């Protein structure tokens, strides 16, 4: 997964570099931090892929696609560094039900202006995450209801490439990887011993940005 992400990010930066070079309105020769504090409210949505193995009665799944959406508020100061807060929700459907994931937490970010219209930003968020697999079930012997939810520490790494349509609005590509770390568990699937300690997913989303 890390190899694919690296290739994707290198391709993305290459595209942006070409766009900056061909932008006739560009006033900068090299990426520079923003000249003043930039406050951005972003709405994010698009496809995402579960990078972890998911085991269901109908089979074992890997890189199953779903849809994720969320929001992010960031403040970048004059030297490019800043902070913010993010929430992301994902739903991935399987023949036996669906898997839902959530992330919420603070983040640190660094951004640069590539030209008059193009800018980029990278952020790292650490917070709370959970994953829920399928509907609630009730044990017929004990009467205990299980909602099949796991939660724990969650990490989120994201890169944004933004095109400023105006001083107030922008649009861009949002690439993110989210990893949930849960308590280690062991189970058997078709006679195979499986050890599980969390889930990961990779998203390639559209971002709509409001500059406050």
Q: How far apart are CA 127 and CA 178, in angstroms?
A: 11
Strands 59-61 and 64-76: unpaired
pLDDT at 5 over 50: no
Tell me 184's DSSP state.
E
Q: How far apart are CA 91 and CA 37, in angstroms?
A: 35
Q: Which CATH architecture has domain 38-107+137-212?
A: Beta Barrel (2.40)
Percent of the chain's residues with pLDDT above 70:
76
pLDDT in tens, 163-177: 999 999 999 999 999
Q: How far apart are CA 10 and CA 111, in angstroms?
A: 17
Q: Which residues pair with 46 in a beta bridge?
A: 68
Please report which confidence band the pLDDT of residue 11 belongs to, taking 50, 70 and 90 as the band edges. low
Question: How far is CA 162 from its chain centroid?
Answer: 16
CA Rg, the chain, in Å? 20
Q: Residues 128-154: what's their mean pLDDT? A: 72
pTM of the model: 0.77
């Amino acid at each position: 997964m890390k190899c694919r992400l690296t290739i994707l990010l290198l391709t993305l930066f290459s595209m942006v570099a070409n766009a900056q070079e061909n932008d006739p309105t560009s006033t900068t020769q090299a990426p520079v931090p923003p000249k003043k504090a930039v406050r951005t409210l972003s709405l994010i949505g698009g496809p995402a892929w579960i990078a972890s193995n998911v085991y269901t009665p109908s089979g074992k799944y890997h890189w199953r696609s779903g849809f994720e959406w969320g929001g992010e508020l960031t403040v970048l100061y004059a030297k490019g560094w800043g902070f913010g807060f993010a929430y992301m929700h994902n739903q991935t459907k399987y023949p036996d039900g669906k898997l839902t994931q959530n992330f919420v937490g603070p983040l640190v970010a660094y951004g640069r202006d590539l030209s008059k219209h193009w800018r980029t930003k990278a952020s790292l968020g650490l917070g709370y995450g959970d994953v829920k697999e399928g509907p609630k079930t009730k044990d017929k012997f004990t009467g205990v209801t299980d909602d099949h939810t796991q939660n724990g520490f969650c990490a989120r790494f994201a890169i944004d490439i933004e095109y400023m349509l105006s001083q107030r609005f922008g649009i861009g590509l949002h690439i993110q990887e989210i990893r949930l770390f849960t308590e280690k568990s062991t189970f058997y699937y078709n006679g195979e011993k499986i050890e599980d300690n969390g889930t990961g997913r990779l998203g390639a989303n559209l971002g709509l940005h409001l500059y406050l």
